[in-house]
Amino acid sequence: MADEIVNRVANSKLKTLDLEDFYPKGPRTVIDIKDWLFHELILKEKDFREYLKNHDWSQYKNHYIALTCSVDAIIPSWAYMLIATYTNPFAVKTIVGDLQQLETAIFQEIIANLNIKAYKNVPVIIKGCSDKPIPETAYIQLIEKLQPVAKTIMFGEACSTVALYKKRNSI
């Protein structure tokens, strides 16, 4: 009679953490304010305010928004702040930057709020393959969050991991 095959990974304390599981739904939208500038160069406050007042902000309901200016113009900080007063009632999150910076900001918040109690003193695998645009910085932030509590941290899949960290035994 053959020996029974035992799934040691399933029976271990090993915890897998997949950042893709935390990826929030909702469109990512870049708003380029160059078209709101006079000759795509100068921000004229009165015209700018009028454009913002007349723009349909409800179209951004539940969007994650990256505000940018794709032309070489000097945009005062208050301009982005003013736009945020219009996006805030509708958007989930608004940042100044590109889509990569937006994803980084989204995950920075997710990881900051991540409950890590389940990872205390256990081996952790951070899953690496993802169909979603998980920023590299998110993995670094996750290591910073897990390292003080996890017994070991690995990257990859249970069948093939790369060891990243092992807690040293206290003497």
Please count the residues of the chain.
Answer: 171
CA-closest candidate to residue 69, choices 22, 35, 120, 95: 35
Please report where in the chains the tokens 């899949």 appear, as a residue.
157
Distance CA 54, CA 33 (A): 14
- Tell me: the pLDDT tens digits for 31-81? 999 999 999 899 999 999 999 999 999 999 999 999 999 999 999 999 999
Over residues 104-117, the pLDDT tens digits come to 999 999 999 999 99
Whole-prediction pTM value?
Answer: 0.84
| pLDDT at 7 exceeding the cut of 50 | no
What is the DSSP pairing of strand 123-126 with strand 152-157?
parallel
pLDDT band of residue 157 (cuts 50, 70, 90) is: confident
Is the model's pLDDT at 169 over the cut of 90?
A: no
Q: Is 1 exposed, middle or buried (0-12, 13-18, 19+ CB in 10 A)?
A: exposed
Instruction: Give pLDDT tens digits for 115-143.
Output: 999 999 999 999 988 888 899 999 999 99
Q: Where are the domains of the chain?
A: 8-24+114-166, 28-91
- In the numeric block, which tokens belong to residue 93? 């999150």
Where do runs of H (alpha helix) occur along 17-164? 45-54, 77-87, 99-112, 136-146
Backbone angles phi, psi at 42, to 5 degrees: -125, 135
Q: 55-65: per-residue pLDDT in tens?
A: 999 999 999 99
pLDDT reported for residue 128: 82
